[in-house]
Structure 1
Amino acid sequence: MNATFANDLFRQSIQDYHLTDDVDTPVNNPYSTNDIAFLLYQKNWIDTVQWHLEDIIRSPTIRPDELVGVKRRIDLSNQDRTDTVEQMDGWFYEQYRGIVPKPGARLNSETPAWLLDRMSILQLKIYHFREQVERPSVTDEHRQKAQQKLAVLLEQETDLAQCFDELLEDIRNGNRYMKVYRQMKMYNDPTLNPVLYSEAK
């Protein structure tokens, strides 16, 4: 498991989504459910659908009822995203639970899965800025600006990949260790969100 493996899966998911480019296309995850590849593919698919929902909701012609429906889909997607990241971190925790941290080992504030979350979204940015660079109907100025931003994103891709691989290496060597903190989001829980539990009375 390394950054190259993860980024390749993210790109595969993005390419698969764009075969239909439809937010209602059901995910067809080609990997076994007990494989980290399954979670990586699933995570990026969620991100990719949500990326396009965020585009849809900004349409100036969207009807109010449609807007509410899309906003609720985005809220559910955010919960799915968080749940999937936590499953990924559970996988990493199991992989490394037998490693005894060295004296002086440092706790890393960002877990491997939350770093992968950033890498997944970065692959979406790269894909869509590359689309803008290759878009035939735009001006040269538009294309140049998109190319400049794409260059920055590609630099970030290299940097994040290095950070991810170094983090896993440090954990394996006992120089850093991870903890899994659940997000404990309240707004989707009918027993914790005051609006929801007040309306349930």
Structure 2
Amino acid sequence: MTSEYCIQIFQQSIHDYHVEDNVNTPIANRYTEGTLEHLLYAKNWIDTVQWHLEDIIRDPTIDAVTALHIKRRIDASNQERTNMVEQIDDWLLDEYALVQCKEGATINTESPAWAIDRLSILELKIYHMQIEADRTDATEQHQQLCLYKLKVLLEQRTDLSLSINQLLHDIAKGNKKMKVYRQMKMYNDESLNPVLYKQKSTAR
């Protein structure tokens, strides 16, 4: 696997979403379940839907009931996104399970899947910044500013892609240990969020 391959799948997911461009469109994952491709496509689809939910909730005319509903969707999406990243790390842990780490092998600051998560979000930024740069109804100043930002994002993609490829290479060669920590988010857990477990206790 390479970062370039991940980008191809992310771009396919983004393209497929924008055929309907609707946050309620069901995902139609084109890859076989259980494969890394299936996980990557699903991960980016979650990111893409959430991107548009974040746009919608910032509508200054949105009513409170709709805003709360979307906020709940975003919260659920964040948890789903975390779960999906951890599934990708699990897949990679299995992939490199037989690699013998060399003496002095180091640990990276983040797992491969969390770096790939940043690549997925970056691909969305590039897609939407390109749209802004191409807007015919915007001012030339707006277009030029967006073109500058797009150039920076593309450079960031190059750097991040190189870093991910190097990390995967180092793990495969035993130069780095792949060590994964779970996020252990507490706010969605009824046993860890005091607001939730106190309500549950009161209900009894």
Inter-partner Cα distance in structure 1 for 2:180 and 2:33: 21
Inter-partner Cα distance in structure 1 for 2:144 and 2:177: 43
Counterpart position of 2:71: 71
SS at match of 1:110: coil
Counterpart position of 2:20: 20
Counterpart position of 2:154: 154
C-alpha displacement at 1:58, in angstroms?
Answer: 0.2
Counterpart position of 1:5: 5
Q: How many residues align?
A: 201
C-alpha displacement at 1:193, in angstroms?
Answer: 0.6
CA RMSD, 1 decimal: 0.5
Counterpart position of 1:87: 87
C-alpha displacement at 1:97, in angstroms?
Answer: 1.2
Counterpart position of 1:34: 34
- Superposed CA deviations along residues 27-75 of structure 1, whole A, max 9, x for unmatched, are 0001111110000000000000000000000000000000100000000
SS at match of 2:19: coil
SS at match of 1:143: helix
C-alpha displacement at 1:100, in angstroms?
Answer: 1.0
Give the fraction of aligned pairs with identical amino acids, expressed as a percent.
54
Which stretches in structure 1 are left out of the alignment for 5+ residues? none
Inter-partner Cα distance in structure 1 for 2:112 and 2:148: 29
C-alpha displacement at 1:124, in angstroms?
Answer: 0.2
Inter-partner Cα distance in structure 2 for 1:190 and 1:111: 27
Amino acid across the alignment from 1:21: D
Inter-partner Cα distance in structure 2 for 1:173 and 1:146: 40
Inter-partner Cα distance in structure 2 for 1:109 and 1:98: 22
Counterpart position of 1:168: 168
**Length-normalised TM-score, structure 1:** 0.99
Which stretches in structure 2 are left out of the alignment for 5+ residues? none
1:105 has 2:110 as partner:
no
C-alpha displacement at 1:178, in angstroms?
Answer: 1.1
**Length-normalised TM-score, structure 2:** 0.98
C-alpha displacement at 1:109, in angstroms?
Answer: 1.9
